[in-house]
Amino acid sequence: DTEVTQTPKHLVMGMTNKKSLKCEQHMGHRAMYWYKQKAKKPPELMFVYSYEKLSINESVPSRFSPECPNSSLLNLHLHALQPEDSALYLCASSQDAGGRTDTQYFGPGTRLTVL
Amino acid sequence: GEDVEQSLFLSVREGDSSVINCTYTDSSSTYLYWYKQEPGAGLQLLTYIFSNMDMKQDQRLTVLLNKKDKHLSLRIADTQTGDSAIYFCAESMRANAGKSTFGDGTTLTVKP
């Protein structure tokens, strides 16, 4: 099973709302990732969690707040977003972060629209 | 820094072979990947190759790696309309601890 699941599939929110994106994997992977992808562009890395600890933050604005409650779950909390934050948000996981086992498996994404 | 480049578009006829090319700059790349993305979907890992390999074949997919020229290619044999998608090349390095560098993607259009 190489499945990463994400909920919700679509999300529309206003600039004053607070919402969360969820990601789950049951492959026993210890690294999880959040990416942002604009249309027709490659995914841009936002955060990496390794063994439930934040290991990489690519200078993401604080209105995005990641959380890794356990090794299978990854959340992205959203607050006071801007319309330019509208994008496809992708979660990925890998066995490890760095080295021979960092092949990443992606979820289907959450399509976020900020009004 | 790392840079991965791909041509943006490729159009082929159904049944032909498709070859998607990628060049990268960092010679310390450990793994090189090909991902497929259909409209509105996430990235699907198609195949990957370790940097000490020259070739990998998996059913209709053949990956060739020329490490000297830092050139990676993906050949799809007997291309079908369902292969129409964006294909991303990506590299990762052991020292980068989880950061992969993606190319801009090649949009493959398969005409019947």
Q: State pLDDT tens for residues A21-74.
A: 999 999 999 999 999 999 989 999 999 999 999 999 999 999 999 999 999 999
| Cα–Cα dist A101/B10, whole Å | 31
A8 pLDDT tier (thresholds 50, 70, 90): very high
> Residue A101: is its pLDDT beyond 70?
no
Predicted local confidence at residue B94, as pLDDT: 65
> Residue B1: is its pLDDT beyond 60?
no
Q: Which residue has the higher pLDDT, A63 or A98?
A: A63
Please state the φ and ψ torsions of residue A68, each to the nearest 5 degrees: -125, 90
A96 pLDDT tier (thresholds 50, 70, 90): confident
Predicted local confidence at residue A61, as pLDDT: 96
Q: Which chain B residues are within 8 Å of A98, Cβ to Cβ?
A: 94-98
For A98, the 3-state DSSP assignment is coil
Predicted local confidence at residue B28, as pLDDT: 75
Among the partner residues B88, B98, B103, nearest to A48 by beta-carbon distance: B98
Predicted local confidence at residue B86, as pLDDT: 97
For residues A100, B105, B36, B71, the Cα torsion angle rounded to the nearest 10 degrees is -50
Sheet of A18-25, strands arranged across: A4-7, A18-25, A73-79, A64-70
For residue A104, which of B92, B72, B41 has the smallest C-alpha distance? Answer: B92
Q: Looking at chain A from residue 1 to 40, which residues have their Cβ under 8 Å from any Cβ of chain B?
A: 2, 4, 6, 31, 33, 40
> Residue B2: is its pLDDT beyond 70?
no
Predicted local confidence at residue B56, as pLDDT: 94
Predicted local confidence at residue A85, as pLDDT: 97
Q: Which residue has the higher pLDDT, B43 or B28?
A: B43
* Mean pLDDT, range A75-81, rounded to an integer: 96
Under 8 Å between Cβ of B111 and B15: no
Neighbours of A53 (CB within 10 A): 8
A89 pLDDT tier (thresholds 50, 70, 90): very high
Predicted local confidence at residue A1, as pLDDT: 60
**B25 touching A, CB under 8 A?**
no
* Mean pLDDT, range B60-70, rounded to an integer: 94
Predicted local confidence at residue B106, as pLDDT: 97
Radius of gyration from C-alpha coordinates of chain B: 14
Q: Which chain A residues are within 8 Å of B43, Cβ to Cβ?
A: 43, 90, 92, 106
**Would you list the DSSP string of chain B?**
---EEE-SEEEEETTS-EEEEEEE--TT--EEEEEEE-TT--EEEEEEEETT-SEEEETTEEEEEETTTTEEEEEESS--GGG-EEEEEEEE-GGGTT-EEE---EEEEEE-
Task: Summarize chain A as % helix, strand, coil (round to 5).
Answer: 5, 55, 40
